[in-house]
Amino acid sequence: MKNFVGVVARFGLAAVWLYSGLIKLLNPLESRQAVQAYELLPSDLVPMVAVALPAFEVILGLLLVLGLFLRPVAVLSGALLLVFVGGIISAWARGLQIDCGCFGGGGYDENADAVSYLKSIARDIGFLALAVFVYVWPWKKFAIYA
């Protein structure tokens, strides 16, 4: 059973990172708007983060698929997900109405409410659970370096 869950955790988290990163890289304007909407970074850093963040997500996904450095990638994934949760909580606490931009889109959203923020936070906590599982019980079959 642990092996099955390990497969699901490793490749599920890989799919999350690959999809979220690629969709943002293919839509750089939306990615930039999403980063800017959080109002956390100086405006001159927004373009760099809007490109570097999705590229980092894709790298994490590829490393998980290839089975390279599974535990360090799980730690980086968990840290990034905690940053995302913190960003969402910060936006919500400051009364910003934004779409998280987690899977493309993003930016200001007049329909954002407590439910949408809670859904985004819960989803990211679910992904965090995948990262924890990959760290604790990495599925090492077909892994080059776990």
Domain range list for the chain: 2-136
Residues 6+ apart with CB under 8 A from 48: none
Neighbouring C-beta atoms of residue 42, cutoff 10 Å: 6
pLDDT per residue as tens digits for the range 123-146: 999 999 999 999 998 767 666 665
Pure H helices in the chain: 2-26, 28-37, 46-66, 70-93, 114-136
7 pLDDT band (50/70/90 cuts)? confident
23 CB neighbour count, 10 Å cutoff: 18
104: which strand partners? 102
* Average pLDDT over every residue of 38-55: 98
The two tokens of residue 67 are 């089975």
Residues 31 and 102: their CA atoms lie apart, in Å, by 9
Q: Over range 18-26, report the average pLDDT.
A: 98
Paired residues of 68 in beta bridges = 145
**How confident is the model at residue 129, as a pLDDT?**
98
Confidence of residue 90 (pLDDT cuts 50, 70, 90): very high
Give the pLDDT confidence of 54-65 residue by residue, as tens digits: 999 999 999 999
